[in-house]
Amino acid sequence: MYAPPVQRLITELSKLPGVGGRTAQRLAFHILRVSDEDAFGLAEAIREVKQRIGLCEVCFNLADGPRCRICSDERRDPELICVVEEPSDVISIERTHEFRGRYHVLGGALSPIDGVDPEDLKITELYERLRSGQVREVVVATNPTTTGEATALHLAEGIRQIDSSITVTRLASGLPVGADLEYADELTLGRALAGRRAV
């Protein structure tokens, strides 16, 4: 129906989350209509982000070098680590301005049913960081979902075995149950962080 390059663009766009066939078609025609500058700007932005952004070697947050900005910031408290599922959760917590420690991004949550086991997440790497003996508290800020809670319990147990003097805390309630941190507003998330409790 379409010239092959147009069809290819529609196919690629329809792979994006939340984009169905009709939306992909509308976006493709939009791209065909805009200036070369805007269209190539979009293509270049995609290329640049894939070439330049990787994972921080310490915390696995997104980084444009070996270490992310937070790990490179000497003013951040190295004794306090906040564990999150995804890099987008780091952004959500940073927006609250309530947290001055460091992060550790797991890359997901435990979900045996979906084949996500401890070795699929950056859990060993977290334990390595804790073995340095510098950390006094780990805030487990996984999502308040079944998988997020299971991950929190798994980590609490693992951390206790490594060093029982490390305090393990969990975000306080106030977050909508079953929702992702990404969608929480700053105030709700800030209060939840301020009122975290031991697990």
Q: What is the dihedral of CA 108, 184, 57, 138, to 10 degrees?
A: -90
Query: Does residue 192 contact residue 171 with C-beta atoms inside 8 Å?
Result: yes
**Could you tell me how many residues of this chain bind Zn ion (CB under 5 A)?**
6
Residue 9 Cβ, how far from Zn ion at the closest point, in Å? 35
Question: Is residue 56 near Zn ion by the rule CB under 5 A?
Answer: yes
Question: Which residues, 6 or more positions from 116, have their beta carbon under 8 angstroms from its beta carbon?
Answer: 108, 109, 110, 147
Residue 43, classed as helix, strand or coil, is: helix
Binding mask 69-98 for Zn ion (x = CB under 5 A): --x---------------------------
From the number of C-beta atoms within 10 Å of its C-beta (0-12, 13-18, 19+), residue 169 rates as: buried
Question: Is residue 61 near Zn ion by the rule CB under 5 A?
Answer: yes
CB-nearer residue toward Zn ion: 28 or 71 = 71
Question: Is residue 59 near Zn ion by the rule CB under 5 A?
Answer: yes
Radius of gyration of the chain (CA): 20
Question: Which residues, 6 or more positions from 90, have their beta carbon under 8 angstroms from its beta carbon?
Answer: 61, 70, 84, 103, 105
Residue 119 Cβ, how far from Zn ion at the closest point, in Å? 21
Within residues 19-48, the interface with Zn ion by CB under 5 A covers none
CB-nearer residue toward Zn ion: 63 or 175 = 63
Q: Are strands 167-170 and 137-140 parallel, antiparallel or unpaired?
A: parallel
CB-nearer residue toward Zn ion: 61 or 92 = 61
Residue 165 Cβ, how far from Zn ion at the closest point, in Å? 24
CB-nearer residue toward Zn ion: 56 or 181 = 56
Residue 122 Cβ, how far from Zn ion at the closest point, in Å? 11
Residues interacting with Zn ion, by CB under 5 A?
A: 56, 58-59, 61, 68, 71
